[in-house]
A and B are shown apart, each in its own frame.
Chain A
Amino acid sequence: GAGVSQSPRYKVAKRGQDVALRCDPISGHVSLFWYQQALGQGPEFLTYFQNEAQLDKSGLPSDRFFAERPEGSVSTLKIQRTQQEDSAVYLCASSFIGRETQYFGPGTRLLVL
């Protein structure tokens, strides 16, 4: 079956540009997570949705980061006024509600010049 998909796979932005990253979770997965993975590091939690409700955004590094999931399926992570330190791989994961195991997408590799 179809896994988690993310687009674009690669994004190059000039410093100061806004970017939008998309995640399509596995059908039926209520929970959706965003993680940020810096080069050579493990993923770090950014935010969590249950259906359309954003229940935890404690990992978002600044108010330039914004995530939404308006219809409880597709989610978008938006980064405003990108900075070089935002360069990373952004991973989306989904799971059934209450289940510990999460399934990851391939990630979007963001490079800010």
Chain B
Amino acid sequence: QKEVEQDPGPLSVPEGAIVSLNCTYSNSAFQYFMWYRQYSRKGPELLMYTYSSGNKEDGRFTAQVDKSSKYISLFIRDSQPSDSATYLCAITNNNAGNMLTFGGGTRLMVKP
């Protein structure tokens, strides 16, 4: 079993839909939670970063962490075709230089 599990998708939604992306993790030592967006043939780009349970909002994006359930989510409101990408959750436990443990990524397609 991988330390971080993520549904690979693909997830196809119409423009304007609310998107929910999720990851589960097994190691309770993980403390910092990130979401990266990766366009085809590009490197991952940091979207959201949080270290506590609860919600964090940034524009159309909301990151949610539930440490008791070891469950993290990313919500995208009013999704746009430009949001079509692979979304990677990444988690670290603030040691070993903060190496990131990634989920497998969820491929999202937003259709106009």
Contacts and interface: CB of A to CB of B under 8 A. Distances in A.
A100 B105 contact: no
Question: What bracket does the count of chain A residues touching chain B fall in?
Answer: 20 to 34
Contacts of B41: 106, 109
Interface in B27-52: 32, 34, 36, 41-46, 49, 51
Given A100-B32, A100-B49, A43 B97 contact: no
A43 B98 contact: no
Interface stretch (B13-21, B57-65, B67-75, B88-96): B88-96
A101 interface: yes
Nearest to B98: A100
Contact of B88 (A4, A42, A55, A98): A42
Contacts of B102: 35, 42-44
B53 interface: no
Nearest to A42: B102
* Of listed B88, B97, B98, B102, residue having the most chain A CB within 10 A: B97
Interface in B67-112: 88, 90, 92, 94, 96-105
A45 B43 contact: no
A35 B88 CA distance: 14
Nearest to B46: A101
Contacts of B97: 31, 33, 48, 50, 55-56
Interface of B: 4, 6, 8, 32, 34, 36, 41-46, 49, 51, 88, 90, 92, 94, 96-105
